[in-house]
Structure 1
Amino acid sequence: MHDANVIDALAARLRNAEASRQTISPVRGDIPLDDIATAYAVQQANVDLRIANGERIVGRKIGLTSLAVQKQLGVDQPDFGALFAGMAYGDSEPMPLATLIQPKVEAEIALVLEHDLTHDKHTFVDILRASAYALAAIEVVDSRIENWDIRFVDTVADNASSAL
């Protein structure tokens, strides 16, 4: 698909939902369920805008890693998103949950990389060699999609439902 007008319109809908703290209907009404490339293009449009506005990427997230959640959403693969410096909070630092729409908390394992991962596909050994250490982390996910009624293209377009 990769229609630039559709990508820009959906990216704007998601940005406006986040800014107004109001959910929107699923984007899959405008992106076919199997059009993963367009969903990632919508995500990238908002990532590019955040960077242009001075935000800094500090990491990446992998979502939908649980087989149970994949089954629930009818997907067979994880999704990926960008993490920005403004999303990171330290121990005992209050998180502004009131700025979110419908947050959920997840326990995570964060890998701090010492070396870039540069291959298209990585082995477990590649990841271990690139990692400096692992940390326990808390992720607060949020969906701009109404009632968390998400399928794969919805969460991908929405930066993998990332928040804090």
Structure 2
Amino acid sequence: METTELQDAVTRLIGAHEKREPIDPLVKTFPDASPEDAYRVQQELVRRWVDAGDTVRGHKVGLASAAMQRQMGVDQPDYGHLTASMFHLEHQAISTMRFLQPRIEPEIAFVLGAPLRGPGLTVADAVRAVDFVLPSLEIVDSRIRDWNITLFDTIADNASSGGVVLGSRPTSLREVDLRLTGCTLHVNGSLVDTGAGAAVLGSPLNALVWLANTVGPLGVTLEPGHVVLPGSMTAAQPVRPGDTVVATMAGLGSVTAMFAPEEEQ
């Protein structure tokens, strides 16, 4: 992509954020753009957010499970940035007005105690760097109309990031086998899906290693205190005003996201 095209793509995404109006797939306008171009768009988008006062507080791996890849019609993971404004407190009402087309996913969140920077990292390096894990719910959102996304679209759109709700019970990696961690997802008391940690690239730790080794050559270090979301254990579920979503993970506890009723938005 030429610089003018990159800036055009960023402007379109920022306009969708500000106006809360989805846009047509970017790939229609930039059909020859590569995934590398998409990450350049994402980096410029995040840079503008930071210049406006936000801060990067972590990263996410998207499309890490076979279920999510099938749902989104792609064949590889991607990554995005988590900023301070995306984090919401558990059991506190979240306005759906912040989003355009929100969906929700249960994930095992890593909180780092030491820096991670690839390439060449192994699972052993990742284990040493993790302070603890938390149950979490990621709110994914797309600025692309009707979620009609290609890999380019979702990468450019910061991996379709929207928000994060973290549970409050920290667990050491010594206390749990993340591959075998089962998950149930309830929306308004009804079971809507189940999953397990192994759905995320065989283990969420593999996603953490993939992320560190992918962003390291770009000069990015996963910092102590940062949150890393490795990918969803189930397919994403739509959320609406008034919904209450609970993810329960064996050995990790539960996490609850509450969305404000429409009349309280």
Measured after TM superposition, the shift of residue 122 of structure 1 is: 2.9
Gap runs ≥5 in structure 1:
none
- What letter corresponds to residue 70 of structure 1 in structure 2? Q
- What letter corresponds to residue 65 of structure 2 in structure 1? S
RCO greater where, 1 or 2, for CA within 8 Å and sep 6 or more? Answer: 1
Give the Cα separation in 2 of the matches to 1:143 and 1:121: 32
Residue 13 in structure 1 maps to residue 24 in structure 2: no
Q: Contact (CA 8 Å) 1:31, 1:39: kept in 2 or not?
A: no
Counterpart of 1:144?
143
Counterpart of 2:27?
28
Q: Contact (CA 8 Å) 2:60, 2:81: kept in 1 or not?
A: yes
Measured after TM superposition, the shift of residue 74 of structure 1 is: 4.1
Change in Cα spacing, 1:76 to 1:125, as seen in structure 2 (3 Å) is farther
Change in Cα spacing, 1:117 to 1:33, as seen in structure 2 (3 Å) is farther
Give the greater-gyration-radius structure (CA).
2
Q: Give the number of the structure whose residues are more often strand, by fraction.
A: 2
Give the Cα separation in 1 of the matches to 2:147 and 2:120: 30
Counterpart of 2:2?
3
Q: CA RMSD in A?
A: 1.5
Q: Contact (CA 8 Å) 2:23, 2:145: kept in 1 or not?
A: yes
Q: Give the number of the structure whose residues are more often helix, by fraction.
A: 1
Gap runs ≥5 in structure 2:
164-265
Q: Contact (CA 8 Å) 1:31, 1:153: kept in 2 or not?
A: no
Map 1:44-63 to 2 at 5 A: 44-63=43-62
Q: Identity of aligned pairs, percent?
A: 38
Counterpart of 1:76?
75
Q: TM-score, normalised by structure 1?
A: 0.93
Q: Secondary structure at the match of 2:93?
A: coil
Counterpart of 1:39?
38
Q: TM-score, normalised by structure 2?
A: 0.59
Aligned length: 163
